[in-house]
Structure 1
Amino acid sequence: MDILLFMSMMLLGFVGSFFSGLLGIGGAIINYPLLLFAPSGLGLAPFTAQEVAAISMFQVFFASLAGVVAFRKKGGQTAVVHKELVLYMGSCILLGSLVGGFGSRYLQEEVINIIYGTLAVIAVVLMLIPSRVKQDTMQGEIAFNKPIAAAAAFMVGTVSGVVGAGGAFILIPIMLTVLKIPARVTIASSLAIVFISAIGGVIGKITAGPIPVWPTVFVVLGSLIGAPLGSRASSKINVRYLRYGLVVLIAATAVKVWASIL
């Protein structure tokens, strides 16, 4: 039974991290509902929302790290990381994720699920707003509102730290529609920002309480395999389809989570 559980956790980690590398997300937007419903549905091990959030946070950390490394290796136009954007948003999301990760210990399971479901719905709405940003804008020509970027990153970090997410599933729509950052730059830069967020989130979860160690280890192992494969596939897919794919994934998980709450 334990072997089946661990193999299942590894597969879940692989799935989440593959889409992490493919779409520039941390993977928690997919893995949170999977970890919450799949193990218990298969009769393996029911995890609480707090445990799922902790496992997801570690998965996000290692998946985003692997994704960042893979993007850096590719170089060129497929990996355009805007350093100033990462500096501003990364430092603020780090502080927010520390606050959210530590504060999650005081929240009930239903509250955590509601926060996740709300974030997912907001992300879908933002992603459906048409973006008029040119996709071929060069990195040096990008200008963005720094106060808005910093404030948004802190708020995203706080709420995503609660549910064990890196925050990319809400951060990406904000970068695309509010800050008007080109899609390729958004995907590459958001992965670096999510990694910084995950550092704070992991610290917060460690201080918040016990973590299911072995399930977390196998989820992370799956993540280390899936993230590089996803990032390689991303360079072969049209940016427009990456955006539509992200909308579909977020919408599907939002429906599942809200169905369980209601």
Structure 2
Amino acid sequence: MDGLTFFGYLGALLIGLVLGLIGGGGSILTVPVLVYLLGVNPVLATAYSLFVVGSASLVGAIRNMQKGLVDFRTAIVFAIPAFISVYISRKYLIPAIPEQITQIGDVVLSKNVAIMIFFAVIMLLASISMIRNKRKETDEEQEIKYNYPLIIVEGLLVGMVTGIVGAGGGFLIIPALVLLARLPMKKAVATSLLIIAIKSLIGFMGDVQNLEIDWSFLAVFTSLSIVGIFVGIWLNQFIDGKKLKKGFGWFVLVMGIYIIIKELG
């Protein structure tokens, strides 16, 4: 095992660790770890990311179900348009993108480069959300009201983003659940994990029909991420999650800028 491979598998542990510590954000690391440390093709990396994110989120969702924190009705209302959108994105949209999108002079914008740049933009948006973190974090029970048109639009948007970049989209889902369904923060985080699990795993089903999957590698990488989740959940008792989230936000910001410079350079 060479140095990059070792750090790649260490990255798998880190992904789960972050998910366990702050309830999200770790999935934004999955594609860069797979592409830059383990040499996986970007399109295949987004597919693998869906499986890793979906499996890890499912573990967290089951844990939250046992605590009674998941609002199943809200999850269904949001998840249906989301998983339809992510499945269509993986099954039809990604294969339809040409390998060479455009050429400006001597500069060729390939499919792989475009996906990584789009992913970097999503990383920048996620980092700003984590750094600012101005949401009113209340755990008070409120009457749940469903703004169905906005929830459907948000679900379709999150599903498309998830389908293209392979990230969970928790930074988009949680504010939507708080603002559109008026869920308290703890329930919003718990319910978002179930939504992420459903749409990510269904999106991955669209890839199984189009891509050749290395199941043994994927099983090892996912298992390490799940181990990281349990370590993160344990460490969460001793670490201030808000400070950690802001610090991780700055790390993601630097990573996003690095990817853009690397791909365009």
User: 1:133 is paired with a residue of what secondary structure?
Assistant: coil
The CA distance in 2 between the partners of 1:177 and 1:105, in whole Å, is 35
The structure with the larger Rg is: 2
- For the pair 1:117 / 2:120, whether they are aligned, the reply is yes
| 2:94 aligned residue | 104
| 2:139 aligned residue | 136
Higher helix share: 1
- Post-superposition offset of 1:37: 1.3
Verify the 8 A CA contact 2:146 2:180 in the aligned structure 1: no
Give the 3 Å change call, closer, same or farther, for CA 128–149 of structure 1 in structure 2.
Answer: farther
Verify the 8 A CA contact 2:135 2:175 in the aligned structure 1: no
- Post-superposition offset of 1:157: 0.9
| 1:34 aligned residue | 33
Matches within 5 A, 1:1-262: 1=1, 8-25=7-24, 27-39=26-38, 46-73=39-66, 75=67, 80-102=69-91, 103-107=93-97, 108-127=111-130, 131=134, 133-138=136-141, 140-175=142-177, 181-234=183-236, 237-238=239-240, 240-241=242-243, 243-245=245-247, 247-262=249-264
Give the 3 Å change call, closer, same or farther, for CA 245–189 of structure 1 in structure 2.
Answer: farther
With normalisation by structure 1, the TM-score equals 0.81
Q: List per-residue Cα deviations over 1:46-77 (Å, max 9, x = no partner).
A: 2210121122121112111121223334x2xx
User: 2:145 is paired with a residue of what secondary structure?
Assistant: coil
Counterpart amino acid of 1:104?
Answer: I
The CA distance in 2 between the partners of 1:72 and 1:85, in whole Å, is 14
Give the 3 Å change call, closer, same or farther, for CA 69–210 of structure 1 in structure 2.
Answer: same
- Post-superposition offset of 1:180: 5.8
Give the 3 Å change call, closer, same or farther, for CA 99–232 of structure 1 in structure 2.
Answer: farther
- Post-superposition offset of 1:178: 6.8
Give the 3 Å change call, closer, same or farther, for CA 122–181 of structure 1 in structure 2.
Answer: farther
The CA distance in 1 between the partners of 2:227 and 2:69, in whole Å, is 23
- Post-superposition offset of 1:130: 5.8
User: 1:12 is paired with a residue of what secondary structure?
Assistant: helix
Q: Percent identity?
A: 24
Counterpart amino acid of 1:48?
Answer: N
Verify the 8 A CA contact 1:129 1:177 in the aligned structure 2: no
- Post-superposition offset of 1:254: 1.6
Counterpart amino acid of 1:97?
Answer: V
Report the count of equivalent residues. 250
User: What is the aligned-residue RMSD (CA, Å)?
Assistant: 2.8
Q: Which moved more, 1:122-131 or 1:89-98?
A: 122-131
Q: List per-residue Cα deviations over 1:112-157 (Å, max 9, x = no partner).
A: 112212222233344455645351322x534353321221121111
